[in-house]
A and B are shown apart, each in its own frame.
Chain A
Amino acid sequence: KQEVTQIPAALSVPEGENLVLNCSFTDSAIYNLQWFRQDPGKGLTSLLLIQSSQREQTSGRLNASLDKSSGRSTLYIAASQPGDSATYLCAVRGGATNKLIFGTGTLLAVQP
């Protein structure tokens, strides 16, 4: 059974710092991995999607990497801003039913 873990559970950084969020998964047979952002009381917004054949994807200040063999992904946020404060979730898609399995999330607070 696929299990997705995110470390740390919570992170607080001063504005302007670069930071890395970690995601690990137990079954490397995945189709893709996605990173989402969730603001309090709202739905999820997709940030980046990495296909199983890719090693990284970039969008603006965000860079996501994927190491399928070791079951790890990282989300790098450059020059963090208070507006980046949110919960960040990673999710992997794969397996017989092609379902999306979510991690527990990292709550990020960027202090002005």
Chain B
Amino acid sequence: KAGVTQTPRYLIKTRGQQVTLSCSPISGHRSVSWYQQTPGQGLQFLFEYFSETQRNKGNFPGRFSGRQFSNSRSEMNVSTLELGDSALYLCATSRGGTSETQYFGPGTRLLVL
């Protein structure tokens, strides 16, 4: 069974640009959650999508957005990039039920210059 895949693995952008990251879940998983990992703030929840609907949202500005497609693949977008957006962006997928185990992908490392 294939694991969670994230593309691209590495990205370098400049301030003010926008970026789109992609996450393909494990087969049969309908929930995709996104997390930001930084040395200073640790692992922080961005949002979760289930059946193409955002079910839950963390405390991030509106520059961070996401969507989910009918095949459960998800994308997150960050507009007007800031230096502080440099981080490892992780997605985690699950079947979407109560307290389901979440499986993480390898992450996309974003560097904003």
Do A and B make up one complex? no
